[in-house]
Amino acid sequence: MRRIALLIVRSVVLAFIILVSLEFLFRLAGLGQPLLQTFPLAEEQAGILQFDSKLFWSLHPGFKGISYDGTFVTINQLGHRGAETREKETGEFRILSLGESSTFGVRVSDAETYSARLEDLLRRKAGSSRITIINAGVPAYSSFQSLKFLELRGLQLRPDLVLFYHEVNDYLPSSVRDSTQDELGITRTDKQLYESRARQASSFLMAHSAFFRFLVRSDAVRRIQRFNTNDVQNTLAQIGLPAIGLGPRVRDAKRVGLNEAALGRRVSDDERRENLCELASLCRQEGIGLIVIHPSYRDSVSHECVLTHFCREQNVAMFDAFPFLHPLDLEPGSLFNDRDYWHPNAEGHRRLAEGLAAFIIERGFISKERRAAEAKE
């Protein structure tokens, strides 16, 4: 037994020496460093976005300045667009507006976003000054990121109603993220990336071991080879959009044989439905109203998809943006910015706000009885 124990000890010591030697050699050779990196988002370059260990990126609190598109942008101290968010008052009806760049308001001023316009409209229609809307939209966010924002930070704002505006980013390639992404991130969906960062043992080794980083990154490169195919389907067709070309998002993609157009989506169909289910469940659990907005973009056509099916099956209130952004009495695309495919212009935001205000009032989300009950609390 003593000889066996001694042999085990020697084996362990030898293995330890080998691992330490490998670690030293890999550090000396500079191995384990990222082979790929995504280009920064436009808002990231403008200083509007910052790294976020939980949500990948978020709005930079306190930012006041000109965005990449020449628009003046104000980010309050809590990281929301617009004026400062105060403590919730007695009798206040608070709406939390979640979404991507259209909700944030690319190329429109703080006061021109549909969230800001909606607040004014609802106050007038409901006859109450105690209606506030917090614009928590973030450029390039997916439905998964906004769901996590609601779980981690949004509930602390004590909303009475949540607006949820998400579609196209869920269907874009996993390379459409901020500049902190490398070969590990672009082989994963948003949910997979979030879960990988949450694993403490793996995160510790990634931070401290060049040898471990090399092994993980080598495996990621092998998986990247699977995307090197010319047989690429247009996933945007599922949401009534043409195959809109995106510029290169990954540095040195050709060096590892990556065809960006063939990368997997940021959010799969199953994950998108899971996100919506968790959103609805969380809102019900917290007694919060929910309106899921079915987004519409410049080249959208009216369509059925995961979102529309979910809302119908789960009896969740759905506001369809299509008829408001593609009215029959206007030229196609006239309510969108003339410099991109996605974002409504100021008039588009105004029409969205008017449609949403009528929808919210008609569906009874802000009723006199509810406001009276709030005031008594």
Integer Cα distance of 114 and 101 in angstroms? 12
Tokens 């209606």, residue located: 131
Average pLDDT, the chain: 86
Q: Which of 84-88, 218-222, 346-350 has the lowest mean pLDDT?
A: 218-222
DSSP state of 341: S
- Give Cβ neighbours of residue 227 (< 8 Å, ≥ 6 apart): 258, 259, 262, 263, 264
Confidence band of 312 (pLDDT split at 50, 70, 90): very high
When pLDDT is cut at 50, 70 and 90, the band that residue 22 belongs to is low
d(CA 239, CA 273): 14
Cα torsion 320, 276, 196, 60: sign: positive
What is the structure's pLDDT at 242? 80
363: Cα within 13 Å, side-chain hemisphere: 16
Domains annotated for the chain, with CATH where assigned, are 57-171+268-376 (3.40.50.1110), 181-234+245-260 (no CATH)
Query: What is the pLDDT averaged over residues 140-148?
Result: 98
Q: Report the alpha-carbon distance of residue 255 to residue 70 in Å, rounded.
A: 35
What single letter denotes the amino acid at residue 76? N
What's residue 5's pLDDT? 62
**Minimum mean pLDDT among 45-59, 90-104, 250-264: which range?**
250-264
Instruction: Give 234 or 315, the one with higher predicted confidence.
Output: 315
Q: What is the pLDDT of residue 225?
A: 64
The answer on pLDDT for 23 being more than 60 is no
More confident residue, 198 or 39: 39
Lowest mean pLDDT segment, chosen from 48-52, 207-211, 238-242, 345-349: 207-211
DSSP 36-104: -EEPPPHHHHTT-EEEETTTEEEE-TT-EEE-TTS-EEEB-TTS-BSSPPPPPPTT-EEEEEEESHHHH
Question: Which residue(s) pair with 50 in the sheet?
Answer: 58
Q: What is the C-alpha separation between 73 and 65, in angstroms, rounded?
A: 6
With a cut of 50, say whether residue 267 has pLDDT above it: yes
CA 158 to CA 70: how far, in whole Å?
33
pLDDT-derived band at 11 (thresholds 50, 70, 90) equals low
- The confidence score (pLDDT) of residue 238 equals 83
Cα 325 from Cα 335, distance rounded (Å) = 6
Three-state DSSP state, 223: helix
Does residue 162 contact residue 98 with C-beta atoms inside 8 Å? yes
Confidence of residue 228 (pLDDT cuts 50, 70, 90): low
